[in-house]
Amino acid sequence: MPHRLARFLLILLLAATATGAGAATPRQLFLVSQPPVTLTNHHGQLLTGNYSVNLLWYGRFTPAQRAVVADFILSLSPSVSGTASVAAWWATTARYHPGAARLSLGRQVVDPTLSLGRRLSESSLASLASRLGPHRGTVAVVVTAADVLVDGFCLSRCGLHASSSSSTRNATSSSGRGGRGRFAYAWVGNPAEQCPGECAWPFHQPPYGPQAAPLVSPNADVGMDGAVITLATLLAGAVTNPYGGGFFQGPAEAPLEAVSACAGVFGNGAYPGYPGQVRVDAATGASYNAVGVAGRRFLLPAMWDPATAQCSTPLV
């Protein structure tokens, strides 16, 4: 089973609000019936130490689109300081004992000609990720363009993180086990054309539930700003539960992880259909809650903090 982003749980909650919740408001639903978030350490291997994130761009992307993702990864470095920084958000992963990975931007490979075709399976993603070797000390990330069709994209997931051997013969989802010769990888799609309501919320109205006005994306690209939310979710899961024996809640086949357990929360006061209180740029109207390199702004999802046992959002 592939790793499934819990933002789809949010969509289901929105659907329930629209179709079967009686007179209850989304806020009332949030207050009454939300289960507690408690991630358990299953004492498996975590990614620790210094890791490079290597990117494979599958399909056509503009330089500006590539820069959004590259700058997000660059912003994870502790050299980018400040309580509202992307680095401060990522520092929460260090509280997952024995301490998670320090990520930096590695090499980038472009494949604009779609060498494996326009439609990809999960095994195709593993094959693409294998091109980013050697894999020691790296996390491979495949980013697919808006017109690339990936099995399950939009229907059950916005991306995935998994592990594979260098030969890609034994690719597994986050329910797999780590071992010699294995590496962690992730895939994220650009949802701008196929499913912005599912995978670029809150920058696009959801297909179900309350239809509040969407937020303005901080980098003027709904698809890539949505992809950053997905990538942030996947990278946090990849370092705290890379092989299925790390930190998660629920069954190993469909785990809720460091960020996916806090789906739909971006600021204080969040509830299904409302992302919470975030900062708004007075000049552009763009919403954000974290700042990265060269002042680049991002909207990042909440992450479960082991120290407080709460879903914590970036401070703004």
**Percentage with pLDDT > 70 across the chain:** 82
**Are the C-beta atoms of residues 300 and 290 closer than 8 Å to each other?**
yes
Q: How far apart are alpha carbons 261 and 302 in whole angstroms?
A: 9
| pLDDT, position 84 | 74
- Domain ranges in the chain? 39-166+180-312
How distant, in Å, are the alpha carbons of 185, 244, 287, 308 from that of 159?
11, 17, 23, 28
How distant, in Å, are the alpha carbons of 31, 118, 212, 266 from that of 272?
10, 34, 11, 11
Tens digit of each residue's pLDDT (9 = 90 or more) over 48-65 = 999 999 999 999 999 999
Tens digit of each residue's pLDDT (9 = 90 or more) over 204-246 = 998 887 778 999 999 999 999 999 999 999 999 999 999 999 9
Q: 79: burial class by Cβ within 10 Å (0-12, 13-18, 19+)?
A: exposed
Mean pLDDT score across all residues of the chain? 86
Helix (H, G, I), strand (E, B) or coil at 285: coil
Q: How far apart are alpha carbons 86 and 271 in whole angstroms?
A: 23
pTM to 2 decimal places = 0.87
61 — phi, psi (to 5°)?
-130, 145
Tens digit of each residue's pLDDT (9 = 90 or more) over 259-308 = 999 999 999 999 888 999 999 999 999 999 999 999 999 999 999 999 99
